[in-house]
Amino acid sequence: MLNFEIIDAHHHLCDFSRSYPWLRGPAEPFRYHGDDRALRRDYFIEDYLADAQEFELAGSVHVENGAADPLWEAEWIQDVHDSGGLPSVQVAKASLADPGVLSRLERLASVPSVRGIRDILNWHPDPRYTHTSRPDLITDPRWLEGFSHLSSLGLSFDLQVFPHQLDQAAHLAAKHPDTSIILDHAAMPILRDPASLRVWRAGMDKLAKQPNVVTKVSALGTNDHSWTTASIRPVILETIEAFGPSRTMFGSNFPVDGLYSSFTALYSAFDDVTAAMTDGERRDLFAETARKTYGIGTSVPPA
């Protein structure tokens, strides 16, 4: 068991009395994350803390959970934070191509715990995998205009894409060096055959050349439902090799990844895979990269 504190860089909460469209539709046919009927319930901070109880949790990052009303969700998470200190900070939802998005970004930026924005960009020709209806949203002029407001508002961007979109992601990062970009879920390598992993790694190396990008190792079970420590080890180690421990952080993606394992099993695997690294490298991976990236413990987001 880990003998130092962790900051979970990616998790969700859910108040199922509100609308979460992705959890309200038909359960079948199952999408790539599998049978999500176990997620169609409340998942409050008490539930999360029960899952994480075996670890010294020094902080956490709540990432928007697809609520129909993103401003309500951000204000609810702020209330939860105010009641007990966790989640420490949050990443809110905004559709950057929408008309009038600047006013919504300004309202979200005024919520004290909001550090960044997520607008999921995963596109795939297979409808089981895709989150968007078009492959070119990341290059759309209206979307890019929305994206351009983030830096001036002190907001980072959580970038969620698939491996074949990493070239576009690298171009985005290069064009906006003043915007902090956090690559979610290590770019979600949904195919694990050697050829697909080579494509993924080449894209990770290209994106890692941009100094304004860090990454999260999270949601590995989403793409490997029967994962073992051996099966996720190469993805973890190659992500760290590409970005380095000071630009890589671990996240649980709970409760979604609770479909595939316990919190304890997941973090024990992170512990096992990184056991040969130095204490400093492991502290970065488990806590310090997240603390620095999201300004945890500060009253304002990092510059």
Q: Could you write out the DSSP letters of every residue in 12-76?
A: --B-TTS--HHHHS---S-BTTB--GGGSS-B-HHHHHHHTTTS-EEEEEEE----S-HHHHHHH
Q: Is residue 105 part of a domain?
A: yes
Q: Is residue 113 part of a domain?
A: yes
Q: Is residue 300 part of a domain?
A: no
What's the domain range around 192? 6-294
Q: Is residue 302 part of a domain?
A: no
Q: Is residue 150 part of a domain?
A: yes
Separation of alpha carbons 106 and 34, rounded Å: 36
Domain count, the chain: 1
Q: Is residue 205 part of a domain?
A: yes
**Can you give the pLDDT at residue 25?**
83
**Can you give the pLDDT at residue 300?**
54
Locate 216 and state its tokens: 């999260």
Q: Tens-digit pLDDT profile for the chain (303 aa)?
A: 788 999 999 999 999 999 999 998 888 889 999 999 999 999 999 999 999 999 999 999 999 999 999 999 999 999 999 999 999 999 999 999 999 999 999 999 999 999 999 999 999 999 889 899 899 999 999 999 999 999 999 999 999 999 999 999 999 999 999 999 999 999 999 998 999 999 999 999 999 999 999 999 999 999 899 999 999 999 999 999 999 999 999 999 999 999 999 999 999 999 999 999 999 999 999 999 999 999 998 655 554
CATH code of the domain in which 122 resides: 3.20.20.140
The pTM of the whole model exceeds 0.85? yes
Q: Is residue 94 part of a domain?
A: yes
